Structure 1
Amino acid sequence: MDLVLKTSDGTDLMVLSPESADFAWGKDENDFELVFPDAPNQPRFERWGYVYAEGTEYGGMLTRVKSEDGLVRWRGPTWTGMLARKVLVPDSGQDHLTVSGEANAVLRQLVARMGLGDALAGSTEDSRIQVRGFQFELYCDGYSGIRAMLASAGAKLRVRHDGERAVLSALPVRDWSRDEEFDSDLVDVLVDDDAQFVNHLVARGQDEKQNRVSAELYLDERGNVSETQTYKGVRERSEYYDYTSADRAKLVEDGTKRLKDYYAKAQSVSVTLGASDDRFDIGDVVGGTDQRTGISATATVAKKVLKVDRYGTATVSYETE
């Protein structure tokens, strides 16, 4: 993998050979660090420049340099980090930003909207994926907004540098758990399953005594919340929920969220992906079976970390959610 240093105006300068490199993408971080020995023959830091590996998502913008303990550390946001450092603001007079159209065309619009065209580009290919009236969460960052937008269309974001800019494209999410080529030994599934979670919420809101706003909320075995009881007798587990300032709508809204949180914690299944190669994208689905309990589970790839050592050996680790 050749990691190239590029000036802020787009001129390639040299291939870099750092002591180590660390890139992260996904639910957090979205930044990178290159480490060089503090020596006269080392490359000079290029403020507002870029590093990239052509044909990959490895790279980003150089914004920070730090010297310490005989080392020089170059840092900055990855391509996804550049998106994450922007806020998607609605147009004047609009409550939310809403987009529609072919997914790559929408990505091109969003890159332009965020003023990132010097470093990023939306693919010009037809993704055959349609975004239909997607409404962004108010004042979300560009990266989480794009991920949510594409997820609503069953898609994921892929970034690949073409030698000039990092190109964003939309691809269908790949469910590796259904792929015969997937090695299930790469996945470790751990289960924590509690059958008697809180499934009945005795909720009380504003006013006093017999005039208090009330709601009886129930969970079923699939995690759905309603006002119809399914768990009864010895299987019922109830809890009092006191929210003195809530009207009934707010009481039901927050009570429903509380019950769903109980359900999620009771059905805890963690999926760890042990692959060390760059095979999976953020948004892909992986899965496996806990051989001790027979319970199967899937999870979404939420973060990737690439580490490169002084010999150029690259390893990738993943986090799921």
Structure 2
Amino acid sequence: MVELIITDSNHVDARSAADYTLDCAWGKEENDFELVVSGASTIDAGAYIYIDGSECGGVVDAMEDQLAAGVSTLTYSGRTWHGMLANKILEPDKGKDYLTVSGTASTVIGSLISRVGLDSVFDAVVPPDGSGDPSIKQYQFDRYVDAYTGLRKMCAANGLKLRLAYTSGQVNIWAEPVAHYGDSIDSDLIDFDATRTWRKPNHLIGLGKGELRNRIVSHWYADSKGNVTQTQTFKGLDEIAQVYDYSSAEADELAKNTKKKLQDLQSEGEVKVTVHEDSGIVFDVGDTVTARDNLTGITVNATISKKIVKVSGGVMSVDYEAE
């Protein structure tokens, strides 16, 4: 039986619930929950709901009241802890182009939490497993990125993942090394549908400002390894050329963006990954899993991008999305 704790509007534990239905998601997009609790009592606006010691929980933002045949069904919804972070923006300091950080993970995360005004909700801690406080190397955030995306990208750039857990009236938040699941686990852990493209666009012609003969033109080429330069490798039948229209760009900007566009086109194809929730392994957002098809030799490395926890009838199920 998975017990749900419900607080009052002051975030003091008010009661627990055993008979409820919960759908809680975090990671890429969503970062919200929906809750139906059996019984006649209501939940305060702004209350917390949580499963103690877990990452599952958040703040109540809305209620839907459905009355049918004299019986009301109340559905509560709100932001998960992750959604609270996603609704805050990391801005550069006044007079600065970018926000940059470095130091121990707990110190950096703590300063960022305080920066967005959530230090009354979150407490930056060292990993509770005793592995030590990892380091964040000099990191530059995207301009005006939301705090959740920014924290996750910062962690990923340092081989870490962002973890949260509600305990003792506070949401503990920390960074720990990403877990990689590959040859050490069952190869049936994930399924994939992969499309491999051997010959991709290898010549991109960027068109910038100007008209007719005066228009700025920038040529970029990709070689067999996907390296992009201004030296042509493929010709004749092997050349696959495309035009990149960027009519507002000056020469420098056009060259930079045409090169980047061709680099983006060098992906070998598309992959759709399904992670089996009955694997017996608990993944976190940011962990990686690997699968290989021995027939084709294709190996897929997938990153867990979303975690969806559902509780119904006292039984918890966990689904994952990967990319």
For 1:32, give the aligned amino acid: F
- % identical aligned pairs: 37
Q: Secondary structure at the match of 1:55?
A: coil
Between the aligned partners of 1:240 and 1:116, the Cα distance in structure 2 is 47
For 1:21, give the aligned amino acid: L
Shift of 1:209: 4.4
Change (3 A) 1:18 1:219: farther
Provide the residue aligned with 1:173 in structure 2.
178
For 2:17, give the aligned amino acid: L
Between the aligned partners of 1:60 and 1:34, the Cα distance in structure 2 is 11
Structure 2: runs of 5+ lacking an equivalent:
none
Between the aligned partners of 2:275 and 2:291, the Cα distance in structure 1 is 10
TM-score (norm 2): 0.90
Provide the residue aligned with 1:296 in structure 2.
299
Q: Secondary structure at the match of 1:263?
A: coil
For 2:262, give the aligned amino acid: L
For 1:157, give the aligned amino acid: L
Between the aligned partners of 1:242 and 1:168, the Cα distance in structure 2 is 44
Aligned residues of 1:193 and 1:267 also touching (Cα < 8 A): yes
Provide the residue aligned with 1:237 in structure 2.
240
Provide the residue aligned with 2:254 in structure 1.
251
Q: Which of the pair is proportionally richer in strand? A: 2
Provide the residue aligned with 2:224 in structure 1.
221
Between the aligned partners of 1:242 and 1:50, the Cα distance in structure 2 is 50
Between the aligned partners of 2:154 and 2:246, the Cα distance in structure 1 is 34
Between the aligned partners of 2:245 and 2:29, the Cα distance in structure 1 is 35
Shift of 1:27: 0.9
For 2:5, give the aligned amino acid: V
Aligned residues of 1:21 and 1:308 also touching (Cα < 8 A): yes
- Of 14, 39, 42, the residue aligned with 2:40 is 42
Provide the residue aligned with 1:136 in structure 2.
141
Cα displacement string for residues 33-68 of structure 1 (whole angstroms, at most 9, x for unaligned residues): 11135xxx4332121110111121011111111112
Structure 1: runs of 5+ lacking an equivalent:
none
Provide the residue aligned with 1:16 in structure 2.
17
Change (3 A) 1:241 1:98: closer
- Is 230-239 or 282-291 further displaced after alignment? 230-239
- Of 111, 114, 120, the residue aligned with 1:112 is 114
- Is 1-10 or 43-52 further displaced after alignment? 1-10
Q: Secondary structure at the match of 2:108?
A: helix
Q: Secondary structure at the match of 2:143?
A: coil
TM-score (norm 1): 0.90
For 2:149, give the aligned amino acid: S
| Pair 1:158-2:160 in alignment | no
Cα displacement string for residues 223-262 of structure 1 (whole angstroms, at most 9, x for unaligned residues): 3321122333322211233433322222223322332343
Between the aligned partners of 1:59 and 1:188, the Cα distance in structure 2 is 29
- Of 47, 52, 55, the residue aligned with 1:54 is 52
Between the aligned partners of 2:118 and 2:93, the Cα distance in structure 1 is 18
Between the aligned partners of 1:285 and 1:177, the Cα distance in structure 2 is 8
Q: How many residues were matched structurally?
A: 314
Provide the residue aligned with 2:3 in structure 1.
2
Between the aligned partners of 2:4 and 2:20, the Cα distance in structure 1 is 12
Provide the residue aligned with 1:95 in structure 2.
97
Q: Secondary structure at the match of 1:315?
A: strand
Q: Secondary structure at the match of 2:64?
A: strand
Shift of 1:292: 4.8
For 1:12, give the aligned amino acid: D
Between the aligned partners of 1:110 and 1:208, the Cα distance in structure 2 is 48
Aligned residues of 1:188 and 1:290 also touching (Cα < 8 A): no
Provide the residue aligned with 2:28 in structure 1.
27
Between the aligned partners of 2:158 and 2:31, the Cα distance in structure 1 is 23
Between the aligned partners of 2:314 and 2:169, the Cα distance in structure 1 is 23
Aligned residues of 2:126 and 2:175 also touching (Cα < 8 A): no
Cα displacement string for residues 7-47 of structure 1 (whole angstroms, at most 9, x for unaligned residues): 2333211112343100000010000111135xxx4332121
Change (3 A) 1:148 1:42: same
Q: Secondary structure at the match of 1:234?
A: helix
Shift of 1:286: 0.9
